[in-house]
Amino acid sequence: MAQSKLWTKAPTWVVYSLGFLPAAYLVYGVVTNSLGPDPIAVLENNLGEHALQFLLLGLAITPLMRFAKINLVKYRRAIGLIAFFYVVLHLLVYTLLDRQLDLNAIIGDIWKRPYITIGMSAFLLLVPLAITSNNFSIRKLGAATWNKLHKIVYAAVILGALHYMLLTKTWQLEPIIYFTLAVLLVASRKFYPKRKKQTRQNPQTSKTQTA
Ligand code: HEM
């Protein structure tokens, strides 16, 4: 209990700073030319992996609160936005550096390579979530609609993890672990203790309000 209180005392900017550290480390790698013989692949893969890690961390917040009574809800928006930041960088590295803005090649990839089609779908699903991750949108949409809309994240994370699994032709352990985690985190929603009827959740505090 005391431990969970300690966690919630850190200001949100600490989470943003920690979240941007891996990106800073990659920038350092670029500047010092220490990313190895294929720096574009290293950037692309690392950014994709960080995106997935933060997406999974965001999904873990509710189960942590429900099952372990660790309340990190106040960091959820920051974690979600950090995840989106990595997805956008991942996409930028792919379009600008990997494909050098060759639109035919990019459209061809999206059309012909299932893992790219799926990655793109995950990205598109995350866009409305990132756009509405602010107090104005929560007020405008209302907590119930906002919560409903943000359930899209479950599909986006599963697609993101599937995208990783389909990258390789052989079964690799790491993507399987990520995919299993994504499925378990989404499925865990089915096993929460039932809330009292006619209550809705405030997305910022996760406190329930009687309707
Ligand atoms: C939620 C969205 C996404 C997530 C979570 C994600 C995640 C990942 C991960 C984990 C990897 C592999 C990293 C590794 O091997 O260590 C990866 C690789 C890659 N992703 Fe994504 N990705 C997403 C969206 C996209 C999109 C939108 C595109 C392009 C349209 C894309 C293109 C690629 C490419 C080209 C690779 C590298 C493939 C290779 O190594 O040959 N991803 N992504």
Nearest to 160 by CA among 126, 185, 132, 184: 126
Distances in Å between the Cα of 211 and the Cα atoms of 201, 206, 207, 208 are: 10, 14, 12, 9
CA distances from 154 to 31, 67, 165 (A): 36, 19, 17
Q: What angle in degrees, to the nearest 10, is found between the helix axes of 12-31 and 76-92?
A: 20
User: Binning pLDDT at 50, 70 and 90, where does residue 211 land?
Assistant: very low
What span, in angstroms and rounded, lies between the C-alpha atoms of 76 and 27? 25
Look-up: residue for tokens 């920690």? 18
pLDDT digits (tens, 9 = 90+) for 3-41: 556 667 899 999 999 999 999 999 999 999 999 999 999
Q: Check if 185 has its Cβ closer than 6 Å to any atom of ligand 1.
A: no
At 199, the pLDDT band (50, 70, 90 cuts) reads very low
Substitution site in 129, 154, 163 for ligand 1 pocket (most atoms within 8 Å of beta carbon): 163
Cα of 48 vs centre of ligand 1, distance in Å, is 5
Which tens digit of pLDDT belongs to each residue from 46-101? 999 999 999 999 999 999 998 888 899 999 999 999 999 999 999 999 999 999 99
What atom in ligand 1 is closest to the CA of residue 109? Answer: 30
- How buried is residue 129: exposed, middle or buried, by Cβ count under 10 Å (0-12/13-18/19+)? buried
Output the residue whose Cα is nearest ligand 1's atom 41. 167
CA-nearest of 25, 181, 48 to 116 is 48
For the chain, what are the domain ranges?
A: 2-190
* Whether residue 120 has its Cβ less than 6 Å from ligand 1: yes
Q: Is 157 exposed, middle or buried, given 0-12, 13-18 or 19+ CB atoms closer than 10 A?
A: buried
Shortest-distance atom of ligand 1 to CA 126: 1
Q: Give the SS3 label for residue 66.
A: helix
How does pLDDT run across 141-173, given as a tens digit for each residue?
999 999 999 999 999 999 999 999 999 889 999
pLDDT at 203: 65
Q: Is 59 in the pocket of ligand 1 (CB under 6 A)?
A: no
The candidate with the shortest Cα–Cα distance to 90, out of 185, 164, 176, 178, is: 164
Structure tokens at 90: 């991942």
